[in-house]
Structure 1
Amino acid sequence: MEPPAHIKQAAQDAVNSLLPLKSSQKYWREYEIFQRWCEDNLVQECSEVVLLAYFKEKAKCLKHSTLWSVFSMLKATLNIETYTKLISFLKRQKEGHVAKKSIEIENITKFLNEAPTEKYLMMKATVIIAMSAACRSGELVKMQLEDVQDKGDAIIIKIPDTKTKISRTSCTTEQSWIETIRKYMLLRPEGPARFFLKYSRGICFRQPVGIHSFGKMPSQIATFLNLENPKGHTGHCSRRSSATALAGHGGDSVTLKRHGGWKSSTVAGSYIEDTLTSKIANANQLAGHHPQASTSSAVFQEIPVTFADQESLEILRESEPSSVFSSTHNIAATNRTPAKNTANWLAYHAEAKTRSETRKGLMEAQLALSAIVHRSSKITRTPRSSSPQSSNTTTLLKCHSL
């Protein structure tokens, strides 16, 4: 029995609502392209064989990322998610693919310091905001004046309308970067709501900057810096550069997902795998080297800390071999500075994310260490006291993240 017309219409409305609101026309346009291809090739019924032939023809002129985009759009209008051979074919197209380039943070700093401000002020402001908030080109285009707020010691950057429908807020506290953004904001004429306006020879015009202009900026920066293959730096370069810089300074997958608004851990994890820091850590593990405190991502200084209970130190000493905590070096009873290897052990556990050991003693030690480090972060350097309480004071490393 065929359902009534109003039921059919309600079902069709429900199907139409499944498509993204902003790009529904693009989805239907891709479906119409496939329909015309079927008519030209006398195809009357859609099947996996038909889709394989269609995508094989598309693969001659499209990159693998574009093929996946076409597949995603057709999947919203056709029941093709179970076509395993088609999915395997699309995965095979990625072989030999080399990701587009990103600009290292050192080169970005060089550009900001050496490029003449009169010519590159707007481009500098764009790079700073894009790096600070991991912006897509489309997000830069839509950015409003109210989305960039000067709080004195920081510039707050809000991105309310994102691709993933999740608003993001970032900031920059680098003083030189803040001054650059302020210079650009002072030159903006009153009236236009869009933040980025055309800039030329020290004058800011009322014309908004388009998405194609943002797409060319990374290539122009690479040309200024005389980098290899400037055209390989596309409009998505700033977002990749921001994620790579954060991963290179110790950012984990969760931090990267929050920073860039990614939903996929795979995407965020790929930036960590590609960093030199990750490769060096892997090389040290293969060589059997013991983890050491990273001097590139942290600065260590000695501060006096008073321990509330000496039991925490006993747990720490019992949880590790005597080579780490020497039995002749009684930290709880003296004011002596811990041995160098002890400091390395403490710094390593302060930075560690997970531990596979589940012994009760080690778990208690980790909790005690966390409490000690948390307590030490609130204590400033003070001279040693000659009071009786000084016998309970020792030295601990404080880690300041860069």
Structure 2
Amino acid sequence: MNNCESEEIVEAANIAISNLLPTKSRSLYDIAYNRFKKWCAEKNVQVYSENVLLAYFSENARITSLPHYGRNILWLKPVTDIKRKKSKILTKSEIDRFLSSADDKEFLMIKVGLILGIAGACRTDELVNLTVDDIEDVGSSLIVKIPNTKTKIPRIFVVTDVGNILELFRKYLSLRPPHVKHKRLFCTTKQENPVGKNTMGKIPSVVASYLKLPDVACYTGHCLRRSSATLLADAGVDITTIKRHAGWKSTTVAEGYVENSIENKTKIANQNFILLLSLALLTDYLYYFINMV
């Protein structure tokens, strides 16, 4: 079982937890709660804990309703949702290394998917459904439209001509056979059948494998979206802009990227060091001034 999990899954789980008592499902909920109490009685459980919950769900894997047991106790989650890891991200140097060293004959589609996914913080299904009509080549840049998103918020992003990025895109588009009936941008090796979600979701792991990075399986389809937001955070972009760029309705996930940004932590640490140094110099100056007086 893959121990990596996207930020979207975590956010969805948190939303589900905050709505554990839907009116329409209350009867089923009560049944699940009574079943949980019966199990606790059989096991002579007096105090609820995370270990108790893990044991309960381990023995009752098919149970989907969550029993309530007090607001002041640890929120209950299914065993598969506890202590998961986030998808790993690709750094700027790793992205640049792959684009410059990987062979176009084998990895051209992967390169274009990586470029667009990072540039637009795209979800896997957004890349899958991307069509040739959604991309406008204006010479110095690409204007990419994502009309259908999970949050129902259409997005537009721009890919500028940095390095040979636009050349890679144009090369890939030129290989598209004229007789192809569908308009999806990403096609199979024969450039005829559209690429599916599973293939598209493996782009980050393919890149990680090529670069010989550790824990390749943890570079999931959500890696591109996380990497995009993290790179923006590393560049000092504010939360509001990151939220708008990725199309999030909530700031919770966007804030998580900034908190996990090593470069931002370093900047903050440097700023704090400068502040402390300034205070130290000011203290020395005041001490010297007082003694002189």
Common fold: TM-score over 0.5: yes
What residue is the counterpart of 1:196 in the other structure?
186
Paired residue secondary structure (1:212) = helix
2:230/2:258 contact within 8 Å kept: yes
2:205/2:219 contact within 8 Å kept: yes
What residue is the counterpart of 1:132 in the other structure?
119
CA distance in 1, matches of 2:169, 2:110: 10
Offset at 1:48?
A: 3.9
Report 1 or 2 for greater relative contact order, CA contacts < 8 Å, sequence distance ≥ 6. 2
What residue is the counterpart of 1:158 in the other structure?
145
What residue is the counterpart of 1:182 in the other structure?
170
CA distance in 2, matches of 1:180, 1:152: 13
What residue is the counterpart of 1:249 in the other structure?
235
1:46 to 31, 54, 62: 31
Larger Rg: 1
Q: Which amino acid aligns with 1:195?
A: L
> What's the % identity of the aligned pairs?
34
Q: Which amino acid aligns with 1:152?
A: G
What residue is the counterpart of 1:221 in the other structure?
207
CA distance in 2, matches of 1:290, 1:173: 40
Q: Which amino acid aligns with 1:265?
A: T
The within-5 A match list for 1:53-92 is 56=54, 59-60=57-58, 84=71, 88-90=75-77
Is 1:239 matched up with 2:229? Answer: no
What residue is the counterpart of 2:108 in the other structure?
121
What residue is the counterpart of 2:44 in the other structure?
none
Paired residue secondary structure (1:46) = helix
CA distance in 2, matches of 1:245, 1:108: 11
TM-score (ref. length: structure 2): 0.69
CA distance in 1, matches of 2:101, 2:87: 25
Offset at 1:254?
A: 0.4
CA distance in 2, matches of 1:122, 1:210: 13
Q: Which amino acid aligns with 1:104?
A: T
Offset at 1:222?
A: 0.6
CA distance in 2, matches of 1:284, 1:92: 40
Change (3 A) 1:91 1:189: same
Offset at 1:283?
A: 1.9
Offset at 1:162?
A: 0.5
Give unmatched runs, 5+ long, in structure 1. 1-37, 292-402
Change (3 A) 1:236 1:127: same
Q: Deviations over 1:116-162 (max 9, x none)?
A: 11111111110011011111111111111111111111111111111
CA distance in 1, matches of 2:59, 2:127: 29
2:57/2:78 contact within 8 Å kept: no
Is 1:267 matched up with 2:250? Answer: no
Change (3 A) 1:139 1:60: farther
Change (3 A) 1:288 1:94: farther
Q: Which amino acid aligns with 1:217?
A: I
2:58/2:79 contact within 8 Å kept: no
2:141/2:159 contact within 8 Å kept: yes
Offset at 1:277?
A: 2.2
1:48/1:86 contact within 8 Å kept: no
Paired residue secondary structure (2:136) = strand
Change (3 A) 1:83 1:163: farther
Q: Which amino acid aligns with 2:120?
A: A
1:148/1:156 contact within 8 Å kept: yes
Aligned length: 234
The within-5 A match list for 1:330-349 is none
1:105/1:245 contact within 8 Å kept: yes
Offset at 1:83?
A: 6.7
Offset at 1:193?
A: 1.3
